[in-house]
Copies of this chain bind each other. A is one copy, B any other.
Amino acid sequence: MTEAQETRERILEVAQRLFAERGLEATSVRDITSEAGCNVAAVNYHFGGKESLYVEAFRAMLGPLRDQRMAMIDELMARAPAPTLEEYLARFAEGFLEPLADESLGRRFMLFVSREITDQKLPTGLFLDEFIRPLITRAVSSLDRVGVPMTPEQSFYCIFSLIGQLLHAVKGQHMSEQLERTGAASFDLGGFIEHFVRFSAAGIRACALGAPIPETVLTGRES
């Protein structure tokens, strides 16, 4: 149990890191086993193949991180004084982006997610059913309780806008070293979160009002 399963855990750890960093096809079994300090056959012995290892590496992160995010939302919703929309968005962004700061499980998972959205490698349904859909459902229902009631369709589009911005920030940070190396505006995570909260709060409130687009009903709005 001790020595034997340790190899399995070591492979899983290295696989999570390399798959997240380089993707499925750019990571060879030999890359993993050489870093894990074991034989190539160990992957097939413990996991049954490269593809199964990829799924297992994803699964091992999926449950804990999804539940952690949901718990964060639930905790926020259960507060005695209902949180403001700004509070809600700030926590939403932090829960999304905070793991990216350090070399953590959360960072790896977000890179996985980012990759999986671009092109799907996991079995159909796993990613969508066990992560995306529960999270969207929870997020949509939670929007109703921060003072901006909407139709389900409006909520869905708003969540879509939030996640789009945050996923782009994931990559923006990943590209930041190149951006700032060439002298352009550098990407500051704290600054972006502040922007995200202000931008999205106004956007959500505008959608809740439900005014048709051409009208300039928002021109005189104050913060």
Residues on A lying within 8 angstroms of B by beta carbon are 22-23, 25-26, 84, 86-87, 90-91, 94, 114-115, 117-119, 124-125, 128-129, 133, 136, 152-154, 156-158, 160-161, 163-169, 171-172, 175, 178-179, 182, 184-185, 191-207, 209, 211, 213-214, 216-223
Which residues on B sit within 8 Å (CB–CB) of A207?
195, 198-199, 202
Q: Pick from A94, A133, A164 the residue with the most CB of B within 10 Å.
A: A164
A115 x B118 contact (CB < 8 A): yes
When the two chains form their complex, are residues A213 and B124 in contact, meaning their CB atoms are under 8 A apart? no
Count of chain copies:
2
- Which DSSP category, helix, strand, loop or mixed, fits chain A's interface? helix
Q: Among A128, A196, A203, A219, which residue has the most Cβ atoms of chain B within 10 A? A: A203
Q: Contacting A199 at CB < 8 Å: which of B179, B194, B206?
A: B206
